[in-house]
Amino acid sequence: MLGSFFYLCLCLASISVSVFGLKLDDLVVCPPNVGCLRGTYMKGYQVEKFQAFMGIPYALPPLGELRFSNPKVMPKLSGIYNASLAKSDCIQKNYLLPTPIIYGEEDCLYLNVYRPERISKLRLPVMVYIHGGGFFSGSAGPSVTGPEYFMDTGEVIVVTMAYRLGALGFLSTQDANIPGNFGLKDQNLALRWVRNNIAFFGGNPQRVTIFGQSVGGVSTHLHLLSPKSQGLFQAVISMSGTANVPFAVNSKPLEQARKTAEFCQIEGADNLSTAKLARALRNIDVYTLINAGDGLKFWDVDHMTNYRPVIEPVGKEAFLTIHPNKLLAKGGYRKVPWLLGTVPEEGAVRVVNIKENITLREDFNSKFDYLLQELMEWPSEFNAQQLKEKTKILIDEFFGGIHEINDKTVQGFLDLITVRGFKQPLYNAITDYVRSVDTNKYPFYMYSFNYKGPVSYASIYTQANVTGKYGVVHCDDLIYLFRSPILFPDFAKNSTEAKVIKTFVRYFINFAKFGKPQNVPPLSCCTEEILKSRPEGICDYHEFINNKQNTEGFEIRVNDKFPTNRVKIWSNLLEEMKNF
């Protein structure tokens, strides 16, 4: 029945017929539960054009009484919906920028579908991207997350989606009044939309790969862990983020919700019932609500990520009811192909601006021990004396005992934030995986993107032009996956960077198509025994690096180097943590 309807829709889209007095063509797609959508053509990077269906509503606008509520399915659209323009980003205050500003809209639950100009008779693999941005910022729009490089291949359909951010996406009273995890539930609903409707765009709903970077990577890993997302995808790519990062879960959401209400000038915020608290917060002006998050910062924009996923009470609509660390330890996740990605200098996302902004650097140095201790997000079980001792160990190891950020210690600071926020969680995620999964049957793969190009996100994190100064930093791999015309100029079409784009995108597409990398040097299977046998390394991974001797200007090689010693220092410092 569904196949017949799918065939009928394709036929209708390929001929000219009259509907509501308008003519349909190949830029109109009519999923039966969505309605008719009119797309547009976009210019490719290497190809002439591809088709784009943008700004498709997948949920009711989360406004008024629907603020702080689980997303509701969008009813069928009437007429022919104009899907030729991207919608605004979800409203946000982007603390990743040197001068954070508020922009975007609260009505933002839209997704974009991109497909090649020539649709294959065979349904194409689908790649659904979840953007990063610390759960407080980010964009699914083509000015930052442009699909051109994927569309150049003509081999996949790409979907990007917006999801609620900051307080709107993750504030919680830890009960049914504001259950929380709205941003993750938005993602889940968008994935359900893809499963139900992507066939009408020529996509294969049984060949869906989710991929994301930073907290988008954290999100993909959480979908792997959540029963709510079971069956919605067949492969996962987690870039620069796993579900066990220190900023993945808020342990005191109700306390945070009350503080937010207090900063919104809600009278008696500490004593209101959660029902009254929810009602009051729903009536607050959205700009006031977002600015209230500044009151949760202990210094400058830190912690960057204050509103986070929460552990919900068990219920039909709950997304996460057990802490990710516990789920990982017991192997509680779907066994699907999994690709993990990282870059060398992940910690630059915070370090660069502190080092390059003299005012910030001097202020940080004036209270160095306190601020460093706060940045580490130690478990609450540790007392003041333990924290002092553990922070001293870190200062000795990473700063050579110097209590200051300067030219000599900045690399140690960068290494510390990289290991704490990214590398140690990544290592632990892999360790838990090989302990609980037969990797001969269910292997995972890993890459490290170490190619250093002429532009870098390092210069986005600060007002200074520091491209190249900090190496390959957090987000730099995105430059070779998505066109971002608002941030970076286009590379020449015959440049080394264009070749890196072609190869890196192909790496992702092959994983989406076959469940493993293809046409690259083979990796040995990772097992617990191999991991234990490499005290200064990790399992084999693919490394993308510069190589001027190579005619291409870069190469992919197999490596196993990893900051394992420093990862283990962190693991030893955290070993007293008994509760998650």
Bond prior to 131 in cis (omega within 30° of 0): no
Token pair for 156: 């996949």
Q: How far apart, in whole angstroms, are the C-alpha atoms of residue 13 and residue 331? A: 45
pLDDT at 118: 80
pLDDT at 333: 87
Instruction: With cut-offs at 50, 70 and 90, classify the pLDDT of residue 380.
Output: confident
Over residues 42-84, the pLDDT tens digits come to 999 999 999 999 999 999 999 999 999 999 999 999 999 999 9
Concerning whether 346 is annotated as a catalytic residue, the answer is: yes
Over residues 164-218, the pLDDT tens digits come to 999 999 999 999 999 999 999 999 999 999 999 999 999 999 999 999 999 999 9
Cβ atoms within 10 Å of 34's Cβ, excluding its own: 21
Over residues 216-273, the pLDDT tens digits come to 999 999 999 999 999 999 999 999 999 999 999 999 999 999 999 999 999 999 999 9
% of residues, the chain, pLDDT over 70: 95
Q: How far apart, in whole angstroms, are the C-alpha atoms of residue 74 and residue 61? A: 8
For residue 193, give the amino acid letter. W
CA-based nearest residue to 450, from 347, 548, 556, 540? 556
Cβ atoms 45, 27 nearer than 8 A: no
pTM above 0.85, yes or no: yes
Alpha carbon separation from 380 to 243, 320, 386, 576 (Å, rounded):
19, 21, 11, 11
Instruction: With cut-offs at 50, 70 and 90, classify the pLDDT of residue 121.
Output: confident
Helices (H), 478-579: 496-514, 528-532, 564-573
Cβ atoms 531, 434 nearer than 8 A: yes
Least-confidence region, from 131-140, 226-235, 456-465: 456-465
Q: How far apart, in whole angstroms, are the C-alpha atoms of residue 229 and residue 233? A: 8
Q: What is the DSSP letter of 345?
A: B
Mean pLDDT estimate for the chain: 94
With a cut of 50, say whether residue 365 has pLDDT above it. yes
Mean pLDDT of 553-572: 96
pLDDT at 23: 45
Instruction: With cut-offs at 50, 70 and 90, classify the pLDDT of residue 15.
Output: very low
Token pair for 135: 């759960």
Instruction: With cut-offs at 50, 70 and 90, classify the pLDDT of residue 575.
Output: confident
Instruction: With cut-offs at 50, 70 and 90, classify the pLDDT of residue 576.
Output: low
Sign of the dihedral through C-alpha 275, 278, 280, 283: negative
Concerning whether 214 is annotated as a catalytic residue, the answer is: yes
Mean pLDDT of 535-553: 94
Bond prior to 303 in cis (omega within 30° of 0): yes
Concerning whether 474 is annotated as a catalytic residue, the answer is: yes
Token pair for 564: 């394992």
Catalytic residue among 214, 219, 456, 459: 214
Domain locations in the chain as residue ranges: 2-336, 348-364+409-572
With a cut of 90, say whether residue 580 has pLDDT above it. no
Residues in CB range of 149: below 8 A, 6 or more apart: 45, 480, 481, 482, 483, 501, 502, 505
Catalytic residue among 221, 223, 474, 542: 474
Catalytic residue among 346, 397, 497, 543: 346
Q: For domain 2-336, give the CATH number.
A: 3.40.50.1820
For residue 343, give the amino acid letter. V
What is the pairing mode between strands 338-342 and 444-449?
parallel
pLDDT at 13: 39
With a cut of 70, say whether residue 469 has pLDDT above it. yes
Q: How far apart, in whole angstroms, are the C-alpha atoms of residue 153 and residue 464? A: 36
Mean pLDDT of 296-311: 97
